[in-house]
């Protein structure tokens, strides 16, 4: 069996995946979205990263031997605020009805957008509101063991009761207090203590508990859901690195104290954040957009996915228009040579080995190009599937319906340029370099530039482009 090695944030090293809780079976939990609005582009990164890992695990261990859980947080002030605004605007129904309606609406949006990016649905998609009983039981257990306390209707976790607190983020409790903004409240014994349960007013969602009507804190939700679905020990816990502290640090503390006989998660994986054209995505900078924005602009979901896979998950990713264009062209090349080809029964072992080495998707993509160059189209098609890319037969845009070059506004000319680039690339794949060079020289005489990048063949019509000469090239 292929050995999978993954970067463990807790040990700060790449370690072998060794599913010893249930040998031969892998369990993975990934923190999902808070369902108050459309998923922005950055929200898609952990979904794609852990979807590729899920596919790899299923390939190595078998589909029936992998369990993947990703939650929906449907208890949140932002959901409440949206529902209140709708109620104030005259929407019919109780506030509870409007909250449930908003959550269901947003989950449906999320599913549609993530499906469009080629992601498989997890085996479990728990909603926080369906596990309130388990959260209350876990909180009561923490109080009984001295790790939590109730004051003024709040229940808080006693951070200093867990000696290992801070090991994930690599900071001591005192350093955290000195270097971070923490909520100071009269009901806290220590500034670092965090909320497990808080009171709800009559006009907001709430559940009866031993500490009064209230609702859970954010951190306890994932601990309770992960324990209920995966047990006290499981193999992988994932999410964006923005969750490393305090969310995942707090998850570890409360889970380890509630279930000291277990390991909770053996490996902690975190993907880095996303930028747009070299800058942090921000509404104030005008570079903030959702996945749906891109889809509605006509960017295919598989192109978005492919751009994401071009950067290792542990590195910051920069979304640029050039990357989108380059990766779209690369996909066109892959689709063109695999159309109508029966995929190999299994992808090449060398390709799987690259993914198994800490999910090295950039190296895996380089392997796709190598398979294309060598004419191993059946293996190329099988390898693409492991990355979650569709087959050429499942999509049609690549056949020329989309613009190939932003310089031209005419879809007809864009299509013809696409055909020219494809022919030139075909000659190169066939190693007929003399014919390829001759075609390139004739294209340059017509004002058309042809070149190769990591994304495949590129074409651009310059200012001296003569459309009349294009027909003679094809």
Question: Tell me: the pLDDT tens digits for 313-371?
Answer: 999 999 999 999 889 988 988 998 899 999 999 999 999 999 999 999 999 999 999 99
**Confidence band of 178 (pLDDT split at 50, 70, 90):** low
Please indicate whether residue 459 or residue 61 has the higher confidence score (pLDDT): 61
Q: Provide the pLDDT for residue 408.
A: 43
151 is in an annotated binding site: no
Q: Are residues 103 and 206 in the same domain?
A: yes
Shared domain for 415 and 345, answered yes or no, is no
* pLDDT single digits (tens) 269-288: 999 999 998 888 877 777 88
Write out the two tokens for 314. 């542990």
Same domain as 285, residue 333: yes
* pLDDT value for 454: 54
Q: Are residues 219 and 311 in the same domain?
A: no
Residue 405 lies in a domain: no
CB neighbour burial string for 322-360, b if at least 16 within 10 angstroms, e if fewer: ebbbbbbbbbbbbbbbbeebebbeebbeebbbbbbbbbb
Does the residue 193 lie in any domain?
A: yes
The band of 184, judged by pLDDT with boundaries at 50, 70 and 90, is low
Q: Is residue 72 part of a domain?
A: yes
How far apart (Å, rounded) are the C-alpha atoms in residues 214 and 75?
A: 11
Structural domain of 425: 410-472
Other CB atoms within a 10 A radius of the CB of residue 438 amount to: 12
Last residue of some domain: 339, 371, 399? Answer: 399
Indicate if 395 and 415 belong to the same structural domain: no
Last residue within a domain, chosen from 226, 250, 271: 271
- Is 237 part of a structural domain of the chain? yes
Q: What is the pLDDT of residue 409?
A: 41
Q: How confident is the model at residue 407 (pLDDT cuts 50, 70, 90)?
A: very low
If one counts the domains in the chain, the total is 3
Cα–Cα distance, 356 to 60 (Å, whole number): 9
In a domain, 404, yes or no: no
Q: Are residues 33 and 135 in the same domain?
A: yes
Note whether 294 and 427 are same-domain residues: no
As a whole number of angstroms, the distance between CA 374 and CA 231 comes to 46
In the listed set 232, 254, 271, which residue is the last one of a domain according to the structure?
271
What does the buried/exposed string (b/e) look like for 285-308 if buried means 16 or more CB atoms within 10 Å of the residue's CB?
Answer: eebebbbbebbeeebbbbbbbbbb
First to last CA, the chain: 49
Cα(199)–Cα(305) distance, integer angstroms: 41
Q: Do 117 and 215 have their domain in common?
A: yes
Residues 283 and 267 in one domain: no
Rounded-to-integer distance, Cα 252 and Cα 157, Å: 12
Q: Once rounded to an integer, what is the mean pLDDT over residues 190-219?
A: 93
- The structure's pTM equals 0.84
At 458, the pLDDT band (50, 70, 90 cuts) reads: confident
For 15-72, what is each residue's pLDDT tens digit?
999 998 889 999 999 999 999 889 999 999 999 999 999 999 999 999 999 999 999 9
Report if residue 44 sits inside a domain. Answer: yes
Residue 106 lies in a domain: yes
Determine what percent of the chain is predicted with pLDDT higher than 90. Answer: 65
Structure tokens at 22: 């249930």
Q: Which residues pair with 72 in a beta bridge?
A: 127
Q: How confident is the model at residue 411 (pLDDT cuts 50, 70, 90)?
A: very low
Q: Are residues 334 and 462 in the same domain?
A: no
User: What percent of the chain stands above pLDDT 70?
Assistant: 91
CATH code at position 53: 3.40.50.620
- Is residue 283 a known part of a binding site? yes
d(Cα 419, Cα 413) in Å, to the nearest integer? 10
Consult the annotation and say whether 251 binds a ligand: yes
Task: Determine if residue 147 is labeled as part of a ligand binding site.
Answer: no
- Is 129 inside a domain boundary? yes
Q: Is 29 helix (H, G, I), strand (E, B) or coil?
A: strand
Give me the DSSP letters along 77-130.
HHHHHHHHHHHHTT-SS-HHHHHHHHHHHHHHHHHHHHHHTTPPPPSB--BGGG
User: Does 257 show up as a binding residue in the annotation?
Assistant: no
Decide if pLDDT at 463 tops 90. Answer: no
Are 250 and 280 members of one domain?
Answer: no
**Ranges 139-143, 235-239, 447-451: which has the least confidence:** 447-451
Statement to judge: residues 133 and 178 lie in one domain: yes
Give CA–CA dist 179/357, Å, rounded: 35
């Amino acid at each position: 069996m292929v050995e999978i090695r993954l970067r463990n944030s807790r040990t700060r090293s790449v370690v072998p995946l060794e599913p010893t809780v249930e040998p031969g079976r892998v369990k993975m939990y990934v923190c999902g979205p808070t369902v108050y609005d459309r998923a922005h582009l950055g929200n898609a990164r952990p979904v794609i990263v852990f979807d590729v890992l899920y596919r790899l695990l299923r390939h190595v261990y078998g589909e029936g031997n992998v369990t993947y859980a990703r939650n929906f947080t449907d208890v949140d002030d932002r959901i409440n605020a949206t529902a209140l605004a709708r109620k104030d605007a005259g929407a019919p129904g109780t506030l509870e009805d409007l909250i449930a309606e908003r959550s269901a609406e947003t989950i449906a949006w999320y599913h549609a957008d993530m499906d469009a990016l080629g992601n498989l649905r997890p085996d479990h998609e728990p909603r926080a509101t369906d596990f309130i009983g388990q959260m209350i039981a876990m909180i009561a257990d923490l109080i009984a063991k001295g790790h939590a306390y109730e004051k003024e209707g709040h229940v808080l976790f006693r951070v200093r009761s867990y000696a290992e607190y801070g090991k994930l983020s690599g900071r001591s409790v005192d350093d955290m207090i000195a270097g971070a903004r923490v909520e100071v409240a009269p009901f806290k014994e220590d500034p670092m203590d965090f909320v497990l349960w808080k009171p709800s007013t009559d006009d907001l969602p709430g559940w009866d508990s031993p500490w009064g009507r209230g609702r859970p804190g954010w951190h306890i939700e994932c601990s309770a859901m992960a324990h209920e679905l995966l047990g006290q020990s499981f193999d992988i816990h994932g999410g964006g690195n923005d969750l490393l502290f305090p969310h995942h640090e707090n998850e570890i503390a409360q889970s380890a104290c509630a279930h000291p006989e277990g390991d909770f998660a053996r490996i902690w994986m975190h993907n880095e954040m996303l930028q747009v054209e070299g800058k942090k995505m921000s509404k104030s900078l005008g570079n903030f957009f959702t996945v749906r924005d891109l889809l509605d602009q006509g960017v295919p979901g598989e192109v978005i996915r492919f751009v994401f896979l071009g950067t290792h998950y542990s590195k910051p990713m920069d979304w640029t228009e050039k990357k989108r264009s380059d990766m779209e062209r690369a996909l066109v090349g892959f689709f063109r040579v695999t159309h109508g080809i029966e995929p190999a029964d299994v992808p090449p072992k060398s390709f799987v080995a690259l993914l198994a080495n800490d999910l090295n998707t950039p190296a895996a993509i380089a392997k796709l190009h190598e398979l294309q160059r060598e004419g191993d189209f059946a293996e190329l098609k099988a390898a693409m599937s492991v990355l979650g890319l569709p087959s050429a037969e499942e999509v049609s845009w690549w056949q020329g319906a989309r613009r190939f070059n932003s310089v031209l506004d005419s879809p007809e000319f864009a299509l013809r340029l696409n055909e020219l680039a494809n022919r030139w690339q075909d000659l190169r794949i066939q190693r007929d370099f003399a014919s390829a060079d001759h075609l390139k020289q004739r294209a340059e005489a017509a004002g058309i530039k042809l070149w190769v990048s990591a994304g495949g063949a590129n074409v651009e019509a310059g200012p001296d482009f003569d459309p009349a000469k294009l027909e003679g090239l094809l």
